[in-house]
């Protein structure tokens, strides 16, 4: 029987780790990452998500969590534990998400969270990668006749408290010498209801979330208009606690592996056909030669497990975001005019 506790920002593990998945004594399993060691000990990666955002993290009719953030959690779990199914999703809000990560309630946060200086500099947290490049937008009703955000002087705007959207709206209206009244509502379903019922003139959040919300309205989607202005840069990143550099590395290189796989045309369906590839990049990626996993505290099949069980970056996008009607745009590979660029795995 094993016991463990997570203490403070580093999620320190104590107690015995014998029999924790690899059948080796605790000393042999030390990876250099307290978070990874704790995850191995209790057989799960605890991942903080929203749990209520279509396209990013939302249970389907069978209760299975679907979305880009959910698959991000699965990819990290596949790399860390060899089995994407060992992820445990923990729902968080815009107000408690950072505390959940700081306290060790979750091992990583993949929750539509914008990478900013103040968050990385003040919270004891770090952004390991950007899984979605976004920006703040505005959704209005077609009947309002509004064509531009600059037509909204004096508007009431529904927004979630504790979000970077609040700051972006304040900056935009101040810069354009306009006024607005914020209607702050924490619960996502309530903010949607407030907007649709006319309690506010506009709904503002990341443009991706606005587009997916509009899409979910079905035949009534044409009653809503996404205004053309994107008023901020919102790189949505995956966060970890500072002080566990090896865990940070695992998150970062999991994304590098998925990007590299897409560049090379490797998918979850065809990855096994590359076992005899002569391409040195592919051989290192899939653990056929070299031991890239050793530097991460993982085995040589870490990237293969990610690709086989979750897919490459494009597969994640097509599975979760494309059905929402959102073009990939700047989230594409660098070879296709986008911003996703992976450092070499060597």
The structural domains of the chain, ordered by start, are: 8-134+235-329 (3.40.190.10), 136-232 (3.40.190.10)
Residue partners of 41: CB distance under 8 A and separation at least 6: 2, 4, 13, 15, 17, 20
Would you state the pLDDT for residue 29?
A: 55
Averaged in consecutive runs of 10 residues, what is the pLDDT profile of the chain (346 residues)? Answer: 38 34 42 95 97 93 97 98 98 95 98 94 97 96 95 97 92 97 94 97 93 90 93 95 98 98 98 97 97 95 98 97 88 97 96
Would you state the pLDDT for residue 7?
A: 37
Return the structure tokens found at 95: 């107000």
Which residues of 1-150 form beta strands (DSSP E)? 45-49, 58-59, 65-66, 87-91, 108-114, 125-134, 136-141
- Strand 125-134 relative to strand 234-241, pairing: antiparallel
| Tokens 């009653």 sit on residue | 223
Other CB atoms closer than 10 Å to residue 337's CB: what's the count? Answer: 10
Would you state the pLDDT for residue 212?
A: 85
The alpha helices in 130-231, defined as continuous H runs, are 164-175, 188-196, 207-215
Output the DSSP codes for 210-241: HHHHHHTTGGGGGGEEE-S---S-EEEEEEEE
Measured in residues, the chain has a length of 346
Residue partners of 175: CB distance under 8 A and separation at least 6: none
3-class secondary-structure state, position 319: helix
3-class secondary-structure state, position 265: coil
Would you state the pLDDT for residue 81?
A: 98
Would you state the pLDDT for residue 9?
A: 38
């Amino acid at each position: 029987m094993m016991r463990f506790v997570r203490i403070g920002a580093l999620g320190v593990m104590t107690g015995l780790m014998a029999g924790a998945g690899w059948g080796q004594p605790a000393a042999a399993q030390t990876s250099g990452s307290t978070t990874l060691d704790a995850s191995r000990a209790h057989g799960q990666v605890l991942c903080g998500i929203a749990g209520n955002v279509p396209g990013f993290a939302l249970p389907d009719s069978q209760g299975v969590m679907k979305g880009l953030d959910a698959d991000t959690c699965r990819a990290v779990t596949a790399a860390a534990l060899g089995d994407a199914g060992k992820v445990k999703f923990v729902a968080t809000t815009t107000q408690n998400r950072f505390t959940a990560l700081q306290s060790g309630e979750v091992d990583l946060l993949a929750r539509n969270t914008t990478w900013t200086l103040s968050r990385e500099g003040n919270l004891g947290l770090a952004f390991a990668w950007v899984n979605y490049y976004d920006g703040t937008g505005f959704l209005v009703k077609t009947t309002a006749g509004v064509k531009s955000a600059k037509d909204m002087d004096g508007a009431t705007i529904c927004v979630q408290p504790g979000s970077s959207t609040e700051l972006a709206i304040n900056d935009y209206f101040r810069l354009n010498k306009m006024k607005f009244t914020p209607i702050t509502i924490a619960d996502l379903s309530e903010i949607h209801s407030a907007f649709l019922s006319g309690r506010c003139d506009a709904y503002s959040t990341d443009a991706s979330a606005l587009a997916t919300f509009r899409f979910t309205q079905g035949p009534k989607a044409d009653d809503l208009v996404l205004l053309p202005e994107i008023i901020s840069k919102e790189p949505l990143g995956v966060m970890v606690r500072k002080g566990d550099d090896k865990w940070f590395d695992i998150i970062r290189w999991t994304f590098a592996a998925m990007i590299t796989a897409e560049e090379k045309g490797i998918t979850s369906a065809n990855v096994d056909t590359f076992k005899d590839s002569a391409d040195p990049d592919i051989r290192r990626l899939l653990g056929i030669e070299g031991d890239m996993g050793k530097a991460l505290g993982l085995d040589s099949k870490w990237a293969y497990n990610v690709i086989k069980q979750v897919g490459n970056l494009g597969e994640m996008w097509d599975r979760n975001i494309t059905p929402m009607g959102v073009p990939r745009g700047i989230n594409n590979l660098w070879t296709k005019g986008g911003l996703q660029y992976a450092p070499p795995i060597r």
